[in-house]
Amino acid sequence: MIAEVLSRVRACMREEGVSYYLISSSDEHASEYVGDYDKTSLWLSGCSSDNVRILISQTKALLWTDGRYFISAAQELENSEYVLMKSGQTGVPSLCDYLDVSLKEGDCLAYDGRTFSYAEGLQYHNLAEKQGCELNNRFAPQDRLWIDRPNRASHPVIVLKEDLTGESYADKLSGVRAAMAAKGADQLILSKLDDIMWLLNIRGADIACNPVALSYFWLTDRGAFLFLQKSEITEELRTYAREQEITLEDYNETFEILSGRLADSAAKDPDSAMTGDQKPIKLMLDPRSSSDAMVSLAASCLGAENLILAANPTEMMKAVKNSVEISHIREVYLQDSVAVCRFIAYVKKHAREGNLTELSAARYLEGLRAELPGYLDLSFETICAYNANAAMAHYAPTKDDCARIEGRGFLLVDSGGQYLGGTTDVTRTICLGELTDSMREDFTTVAVSNLRLLFARFMEDCSGMVLDAIAREPLWERHKNFNHGTGHGIGYILNVHEGPQVIRWRDRIPEDRTSFVPGMITSDEPGMYIEGQYGIRTESITLCVEDCVNEYGRFLCFEPLTYVPIDLEGLKPEQMDASDIDKLNRYHKMVWEKISPFLKGEDLEWLKQATGPVCA
């Protein structure tokens, strides 16, 4: 099947004179997770990873992905002609480095500019120019070759009340306009779906587990325009849009409408015409989330010199949660933690019976969450991975690929829910019996890593690069590491992965240097993965809060939002420093105090043992 698709794509390349064809796993909105309609990389390669770049020539098929997917991608690409390029690994060139030495004068490099950000597309423009190559950013063979392509998802949009959001659209809009003015911008186009949802206080369901609607938002000095699929517009939304003076437009005509209206606004500004002082329109776009095609359109209408390329002003505003959001988040995480604790007690009791599978366990946990007030959906597909399967950081069981859980080794469960009141994410590695000494050493190292970051105190203006070193030091001391970030921001009834703050040690993009601010919600999730044997990850979600202010400056720290025990059966206390044991006992004391009022019977007895004090 994949070989046939590749053959048809290569024929299309020959017809249009394309030497190299680039494909991304993203959509028009720089989304991490995409709907079935936009899974072009899966259709073309069979690889289900969420971070993929593919390069096709007449003789080669190369696929780049990151460390979260090395194992699963290798399995999915087996017996195909694809070569897996493990991004960031020694001896593996980046996509740009590969193109730099492969492109020759007269070649044509092509891609669909709708599915690459402007920032990424600019790299390919520069490479093509450097090598004397033609560049085609309108090459989209999937539009005519993908015969059984799914339809775009379409679901009714809901409007959130202010008692959930804590801030009105009008108030948020005022902050956005102030940020635009500071940059000298008259207009703004938002392409990033969660930014649009946050600003307008609406939610959708067009991408699984992500409560967003496919949309664009155009803000001018005279009005606001929301582009949505017509089938998603409810009477509630029509009324709300009318009250907020938002004009609803057809999503499928976004580029056509913008092309005409941007050109018209550039041609004549009626206010300045009265004085003869005609000023050009300045349009603001985020180069990381606006597509290459969108920026190209804007540049052709207004002139590249009139574009202001800067981060969406919504991004940082969205990342710093307000007091109402934080109040809801604390309650949601408490209830979600209760469900996870009940789940672990259930697994501990029944694993040795041999009747549990990865899939049945995942569904049991989903059922517990579905009982909670305000439950909407999962926040991502549950990762329930037993022993060797857990070495694949983003493995998820299916009906046809599912391991039976036995009374030995590790069960790694990474899961979360979407609620009217918050978005949750938590990982615990459950010990199910016999463990080797090396397994316990690795488990303990990961636990110490998690706890040191959880209890860290740090100066204001610290970035995630500083905090990452705190978390990784216990692993690096043992000459070990894990191939994913230590922490990511989390949305509010929105995407489970949110920026701009991140916790990782590599300095690659501006987000890596984002300073932490009170109100940010961030994960703390170190791990250890031994291919073919087991995987370990311990993830708690944190709220950044002020610790103290003194003569040395302002200190910040993390408040835990997750209250789920770290499995004592996997620990080697003799491997832990006294300060690390103290952190563990302090955390477990909090877990007991928060969770015990909600449990009873065997579940309560399990929690009592699971949070008991550990001695050095």
User: Average per-residue pLDDT in the chain?
Assistant: 94
Going by pLDDT thresholds of 50, 70 and 90, the confidence category of residue 462 is very high
- Contact of 482 with 450, CB cutoff 8 Å: no
- Burial of residue 214 (CB within 10 Å: 0-12, 13-18, 19+) is buried
Please tell me which of 51-60, 66-75, 396-405 the model is most confident about, judged by mean pLDDT.
Answer: 51-60
CA 416 to chain centre: 13
Does the pLDDT of residue 215 top 60, yes or no? yes
pLDDT tens digit string along 81-121? Answer: 999 999 888 999 999 999 999 999 999 999 999 999 999 99
pLDDT tens digit string along 286-344? Answer: 999 999 999 999 999 999 999 999 999 999 999 999 999 999 999 999 999 999 999 99
Listed range (366-370, 397-401, 453-457, 482-486) with the worst mean pLDDT: 397-401
- pLDDT score, position 273: 40
| Percentage, residues of the chain above pLDDT 90 | 87
Listed range (12-16, 221-225, 346-350, 509-513) with the worst mean pLDDT: 509-513
Closest CA to 385 of 410, 367, 349: 410
- pLDDT score, position 269: 56
- Burial of residue 515 (CB within 10 Å: 0-12, 13-18, 19+) is middle
Does the pLDDT of residue 351 top 90, yes or no? no
- pLDDT score, position 433: 87
pLDDT tens digit string along 536-568? Answer: 999 999 999 999 999 999 999 999 999 999 999
pLDDT tens digit string along 63-85? Answer: 999 888 888 889 899 989 999 99
- pLDDT score, position 395: 81
| Percentage, residues of the chain above pLDDT 70 | 98
Residues 6+ apart with CB under 8 A from 247: 223, 224, 225, 226, 241
d(CA 221, CA 188): 9
3-state secondary structure of 540: strand
Token output for 417: 């829910």
Crossing angle for the helix pair 323-350 and 601-610, to the nearest 10 degrees: 100
Q: Which residue has the tokens 């309108």?
A: 138
- Contact of 445 with 362, CB cutoff 8 Å: no
3-state secondary structure of 269: coil
What is the sign, positive or negative, of the torsion defined by CA atoms of 315, 318, 321, 322? Answer: positive
- Contact of 393 with 484, CB cutoff 8 Å: yes
3-state secondary structure of 56: strand
d(CA 591, CA 112): 49
Going by pLDDT thresholds of 50, 70 and 90, the confidence category of residue 205 is very high
- Burial of residue 559 (CB within 10 Å: 0-12, 13-18, 19+) is middle
Does the pLDDT of residue 350 top 60, yes or no? yes
For 312, phi then psi, to 5°, come to -55, 130
d(CA 40, CA 21): 13
pLDDT tens digit string along 491-524? Answer: 999 999 999 999 999 877 777 889 999 999 999 9
Does the pLDDT of residue 144 top 90, yes or no? yes
pLDDT tens digit string along 253-302? Answer: 999 999 999 988 777 654 544 444 668 999 999 999 999 999 999 999 99
Does the pLDDT of residue 440 top 50, yes or no? yes
